[in-house]
Amino acid sequence: MKANRFVLFLALALGALFLSACGTPVSASWPGLAASEEAAYLATGPYVYAVRLEDGEELWRFPEKADGKLQFYSNPVLTNDGLVLLGSSGTGHNFIAVDAETGNEDWSFTGAQGAWQASPLVVDNFIYAPNTDGFLYVFDLNIEGDDKLAWSLELDGPLWAMPATDGQYIYVTSLDHRLHAVDPQTGSVAWTLELDGAAPGTPAVDADGMLFVGTFGKSIQAVDTSRRAIAWSIPTEGWVWGGPLRVDDVLYVGDLEGNFYSFNSSGKPDGEQFQPDGPILASPLVIGEQVIFVTENGTVYAAENGTDPKSLEKMEGKLYTAPVAAGDLILVAPFQGEFLLVALDQQGKQAWTFTPGN
């Protein structure tokens, strides 16, 4: 009987350990990152940190004391009137606006049923915030008081990507293989297009009415928004997670098989396909003349003037978060690395690192 008791306790202890610790927690993911002219905003777990760009010192953290229900991983977004927008992907589905200067909460919304994996899009005084519950929530900053929800629209399917706009429509991609064009004037779906796979990245939209999106169908798809149809589709070797970057007439994108592509807007390759040291999840970044992209293996690459990308820096941890430009600095947020945030100059030299104090 002693043996039975031992096994029982062992089973309970191991069960508790495996169920609560070893399985993927509901909210775990890689950090979100944004920057203004003065500060970087890093969303990682129970806190969002404001970090001074000058020296990497912590300015404030939100909330001051961790709340078990709030977990922050999506990229924070700044509004023109000095707010930082944060979405929680913890069990508390709070969408929160905090003062960028002080970190004090300004207003919040708790009516969503799902996690906030996607960053919101700010257009004028309107905030377009997609949620994993399949709704697009629209907030009007002109509304006085805390309840700023103007309207919401059910689009079905988990919405993980920050929307894009061409000035006429708000384009929202979903994991259920769809692209929705939402008319912000009427608050309704103008048209919907079927994609060849889930699209977790933000589309790139150009002035000619072309929209580019990467999918889990292993392709880059170009949508002619005037015809509301797929203009072309180019196969990639792996799934495309991050949204493509469009610079001048060239489209840059990476895939999970570890390939970096450049296409022109007609879908023709622009230069050689490059193979860095690992899979690419994050969207690339343009800073000055350089196109920066990062790999899962922790390497920051820079491509310039059509030449082969060169390695700027390799760091401990995995780089899943898209790099962010802050003045002359390139900010990267390693996942499971030595530091939470690293600032590099354009030659790849470390300017400062950030690790939060207690």
Partner 1 sequence: MSPWDLFVSLFVNVLLWIYDVVGQNFGLAIILFTILTRIVTWPLNASQMKSTKVMQDLQNDKEWQDIQKKYAKDREKLAQEQMRIYRERGVNPFASCLPTLIQLPIIFALYQSITRSLATTPLSLLQLTRSISSFLDVSSLIPLNSKFLWMDLGQPEFVPVFGFNLPTLAIVVALTTYIQTKLTTPPSSNPNDQSAAMARSMSLTMPLMLGWFALTFPSGLAVYFVTSNLLGIAQYAMMGKANWRSLLPGGSKPVTPAKPSKK
Exactly one of 30, 62, 109, 128 binds partner 1 (CB under 8 A); that residue is 30
Q: Per CB under 8 A, does 109 bind partner 1? A: no
Q: Tell me the C-alpha distance between 29 and 103, whole Å.
A: 23
Q: Given the rule CB under 8 A, which of 112-120, 139-147, 243-251, 340-348 is the region that contacts partner 1? A: 112-120
Distances (CA, A) of 348 to 200, 296, 302, 311: 29, 17, 9, 8
Q: Which is closer to partner 1, CB of 1 or CB of 207?
A: 1
Q: Tell me the C-alpha distance between 164 and 166, whole Å.
A: 7
The half-sphere exposure of 93 on its side-chain side, counting CA atoms within 13 A, is 15
Q: What is the DSSP string of 141-179?
A: TTS-SS--EEEEEE--S---S--EE-SS-EEEE-TTSEE
Q: Which residues pair with 33 in a beta bridge?
A: 42
Q: Per CB under 8 A, does 290 bind partner 1? A: no
Q: How far is the CB of 110 from partner 1 (least distance, A)?
A: 13
Exactly one of 45, 63, 114, 348 binds partner 1 (CB under 8 A); that residue is 114
Residue 81 backbone zone (phi > 0: left; psi -120 to 50: alpha; other: beta)? alpha
Binding mask 178-217 for partner 1 (x = CB under 8 A): ------------------xxx-x--------------xxx
Q: Tell me the C-alpha distance between 45 and 66, whole Å.
A: 9
Cβ contact 114:158 at 8 Å = yes
Q: Per CB under 8 A, does 24 bind partner 1? A: yes
Exactly one of 41, 160, 252, 354 binds partner 1 (CB under 8 A); that residue is 160
Q: Which is closer to partner 1, CB of 169 or CB of 320?
A: 320
Q: Per CB under 8 A, does 333 bind partner 1? A: no
Instruction: Tally Cβ neighbours within 10 Å of residue 177.
Output: 17
Total residues contacting partner 1 by CB under 8 A comes to 50
Binding mask 211-250 for partner 1 (x = CB under 8 A): ----xxxx--------------------x-x---------
Q: How far is the CB of 189 from partner 1 (least distance, A)?
A: 19
Exactly one of 44, 88, 89, 290 binds partner 1 (CB under 8 A); that residue is 89
Six token digits for residue 280 = 């690419």
Distances (CA, A) of 156 to 90, 130, 139, 176, 179: 21, 11, 19, 8, 11
Q: Per CB under 8 A, does 281 bind partner 1? A: yes
List contacts with partner 1 (CB under 8 A): 1, 3-8, 10-12, 14-16, 18-20, 22-24, 26-30, 73, 89, 91, 113-115, 117, 132, 157-158, 160, 175-176, 196-198, 200, 215-218, 239, 241, 256, 281, 320
